Amino acid sequence: MMTDNEKKTKPAKKRFYRKRVRIFNLIDKIKLWPSRTGQLHGIRSITTMGDTARLTTHCNKEFIISNSLNSRAGRWLRNKWFVKVCPKCGVPDWKLEKYSSTLFKRHQGSMLIKDHKDHSS
């Protein structure tokens, strides 16, 4: 019979996303934002305004971002570069574990494309 100390914890499930996805879709999915100072913030809301968006973090900071494939923030998210987690945002450990197990591949994974009607015609 196994005791509580002997139970094995399952490793975090790996998630695959494409490398070159729009930053809005990626942020809307993982709800994390790396600021220029290297802090990882938790995202409370994202408001899209055409090709820009306003991010509101849990520490009430606001960022205006552009929808780009290869922005600084996109690279930092894909490469998991950050100095520290924002103490005011309080990003939970389970979210950091989930983020650390996420893999970004060029030819495999979700494209993070939402089902919506195209109004460009």
Query: What pLDDT is attached to residue 43?
Result: 93
Q: 30, 97, 92, 27: which is closest to 63 by C-alpha?
A: 27
Query: What pLDDT is attached to residue 112?
Result: 63
Query: What pLDDT is attached to residue 60?
Result: 93
Q: Are 30 and 100 in contact (CB under 8 A)?
A: no
- Residue 29, SS3? helix
Question: Which segments of the chain have a pLDDT < 70?
Answer: 1-12, 15-20, 106-121
Query: What pLDDT is attached to residue 110?
Result: 65
Q: Which two tokens stand for residue 54?
A: 């306003």
- Please state the pTM of the whole predicted model: 0.71
Query: What pLDDT is attached to residue 107?
Result: 64
